[in-house]
Amino acid sequence: MSLTESIIPDDRVDKLTNEEISRYSRHLLLPQIGLDGQEKLKAAKVLIVGTGGLGAPLALYLAAAGVGTLGIVDFDVVEESNLQRQIIHSTRDIDRPKVASAADRIKSLNPEVKVITHNTRLTSENALEIIEDYDIVADGTDNYQTRYLVNDACVLLGKPNVYGSIFQFEGQASVFYAKEGPCYRCLYPSPPPPGLVPSCSEGGVLGVLPGIVGTIQANEVIKLIVGGGNSLIGRLLLFDAWEMKFRELKLDKDPGCPICGKKPTIHELIDYEQFCGLKPDHEEEPVETIEAKELKQRLDAGDKIQIIDIREPHERAISPFAGAKPIPLGQMTRRIGEFDDTEDAVFLCKVGQRSVFAIRALQEAGYKGKLLNLKDGVNAWARDVDNSLPQY
C-alpha cells in the first residue's frame, strides 16, 4: 500500500540549516525525498522499543537519516553476549544501561538528533503515556507480550507500528497501521503457548540478521515520514538469511479483530503477561530446584542421581556436562521408560527454563519419581562449580 501523504503535519516543519543541507545532501538529491522530505524527517518523532538487535540498526540509521527526535525504551543492561549483533553498543559499555549506551552512540553519530531515553520496561501502565508523544513506533522487541502491548497502544492512539522480528536465520517485517490496514492481532490473533518458541538467548540468532531486518524497518519509518513509496502496510515480508530468500504474504484486515475490527471489544490496555499465558489461570505445583553447589556436594558424596541434559547436540558441544544423559526436550515423554523412579532426576538446560517444561511433561505423563531442576542451568554450574566451562 502506498501512503502518498506524509504523516508529519506541515505546520511542524522547520527549514534546514546550511550545515544540515551539507550533512543530508545525498538525501536532498533524491526527488522522492528532497528538501521537503528532509525537513519532515527533522520534524519527526520516532519511538524505538528495545535497543537490542533490531533497535540498534533502527536507531543508527534513523539518526543518520536526520530524524529529529528519537525516543528509546529499554530497561536492560549491556551484556557481552549482546555484542555479536547489537552494534550500537561496544565492549566498554558492558553493564551500562542500554539506553545510556545507545544515546551516546546516537549523539556521536549525529549531534543534531534529540534523544529521549526511557530506562524502563514498557507496561500497560506507562505505554500510552510514552507512545502518545511520538509519530511512529518501531517495535524491536523480542517477546510476545510486549508486541501485543505495542500493537494495542498504537491502535488506541492511531499510531503506525513498524514491526520486525527475528529468530535464528529468519526475519519478518511489516507495518501495522489500523487507520490504513491490518494490525498485529489481525495476523496473530493469539500468542503461541509459553515455551513453544524459544527466545534468541535459547535458540540463537545469526548476528547479521537483525541488521538486515532492522534496516528494513528503518526504511519503512523513513517512507512513512516523507510520504510515498510502497509501504509494508498490508504485507508481511519474510526473509531467510541462510537460504537468502525473500517471500511476501498479503495481509488483510480482520473485520472481527478485537481491537481494530468493526466491533472492537478491547478499549484499553490489558494484562499482556496473562494474555500470553505467562500467568497461569490456576496454581501450578512449583517445580523443585537444586543449586549447582548442592548438586556438586551430592555427587561428591556418592548420591545416586540421574542427570538429564535436555539440550540439543550442537548446544551440548558448547558446554558439555560430564556424566549427563542426553534426552532432548522433544523426546522426553516417549523415553519415560529410561528413567529410574527410585533415584532423583536432575534436569538441566542452558539457564534452567526449558528444563521446567521437561519436568512438567513427565509429571503430566504420570512419572512418580523425584524431579529436580538445576537452577540457572549449566551456566550456573560453569559459574559456581566448574570455571573451566564457558557460560554462553
Give me the active site residues, please. Answer: 200, 349
Candidates 26, 46, 47; CA nearest to 35 is: 26
Which three cell numbers, joined as nine digits, stand for 60?
Answer: 543508527
Collapse the DSSP code of 372 into the 3-class scheme (helix H, G, I; strand E, B; otherwise coil) and give the result: strand
Residues in a beta bridge with 344: 305
| Percent helix, percent strand, percent coil in the chain, to nearest 5 | 35, 20, 45
| Residue 377 region by backbone torsions, left for phi larger than 0, else alpha for psi between -120 and 50, else beta | left
CA 351 to CA 391: how far, in whole Å? 10
Cβ 72 vs Cβ 55: under 8 Å: yes
For residues 383 and 392, give the distance between their C-alpha atoms in angstroms, rounded to a whole number. 11
DSSP code string of 148-189: HHHHHHHHHHT--EEEEEEEBTEEEEEEE-TTTS--HHHH-S
Q: How far apart are CA 346 and CA 245, in angstroms?
A: 42
User: Largest Cα–Cα distance of the chain, in whole Å?
Assistant: 80
Cα 18 to the center of its chain, rounded Å: 39
